[in-house]
Every structure is written in structure tokens, then in C-alpha cells.
């Protein structure tokens, strides 16, 4: 739902039932219904090559970097660095590619599971 600015860069893949919003109601006057109070807009940006899983919620003011993977059901807000894997509610970065270092934490020969989600596998080098 856009009232301010939602930008999806090139090659973004969006699974079913993803919700983007770039605004929220203020709650300045406790005597006025929240739905009648002022809407504040905060830009949302999704970087090129990012994949967003089923039922993800992207909140106002979120900036997702390039080539990220956002796991199904995550609730994302804030700044997500390039090449990050995000899972959970609230969404958090559980793995990231860093130039000169590779994947942090490193990929292993076993399936790495965080909060029930597989976030990395590397085949055995034999």
C-alpha cells in the first residue's frame, strides 16, 4: 500500500501475499481515533536482485540492499545490507556476504538452520 514512495529495483522477485507499506498513522492525540490521525510517509526501497518470500511484511522506512533473500513470513524494517539473508519476526540478518571474507557466518557442509529456516548449505568438496 503506497502513499509516499515504494521503489523496487531491477530483477526483484516477490512471492505471493507480500505486503509493502510506506506510511503509518501518528498517535499524537489520545482522544482522536487512530485512523483519523495524520498519516506519515517513509520511503521503502528494495535493491536489485532481491528475493522476497511468501507472506513477508515490509514496514515503512525499510531499505533492503541488493541481492538479499528475505525468508517467508519475515517482518522487515530498517536498513538491510546488500547480500543479506533475513528471517523471523522481527526480521534479522542471519547471514551476509562480505567482500574479502565470504559468507558470515561461513557456509558449512551441513544445513544451517536458524529459527527453523535453512539458511545455507555447501556441498562437500571431495
Catalytic residue among 4, 23, 25, 83: 25
CA 70 to chain centre: 5
Quick one: which of 45, 48, 38 has its CA closest to 59?
Answer: 45
Residue 83 designated active-site: no
Asked, as a colleague might, if the bond just before 105 is cis with ω within 30 of 0, I would say yes
Q: Three-state DSSP class for 36?
A: helix
Q: Three-state DSSP class for 35?
A: helix
Annotated active-site positions, please?
A: 25
Amino acid at each position: 500500500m503506497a502513499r509516499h514512495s515504494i521503489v523496487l529495483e531491477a530483477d526483484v522477485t516477490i512471492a505471493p501475499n507480500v505486503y509493502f507499506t510506506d506510511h503509518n498513522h501518528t498517535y499524537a492525540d489520545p482522544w482522536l481515533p487512530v485512523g483519523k490521525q495524520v498519516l506519515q510517509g517513509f520511503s521503502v526501497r528494495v535493491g536489485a536482485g532481491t528475493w522476497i518470500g511468501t507472506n513477508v511484511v515490509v514496514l515503512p522506512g525499510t531499505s533492503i540492499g541488493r541481492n538479499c533473500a528475505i525468508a517467508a513470513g519475515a517482518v522487515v524494517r530498517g536498513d538491510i545490507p546488500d547480500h543479506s539473508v533475513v528471517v523471523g519476526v522481527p526480521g534479522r540478518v542471519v547471514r551476509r556476504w562480505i567482500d574479502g571474507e565470504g559468507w558470515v557466518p561461513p557456509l558449512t557442509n551441513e544445513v544451517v538452520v536458524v529459527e527453523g529456516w535453512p539458511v545455507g548449505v555447501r556441498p562437500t568438496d571431495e
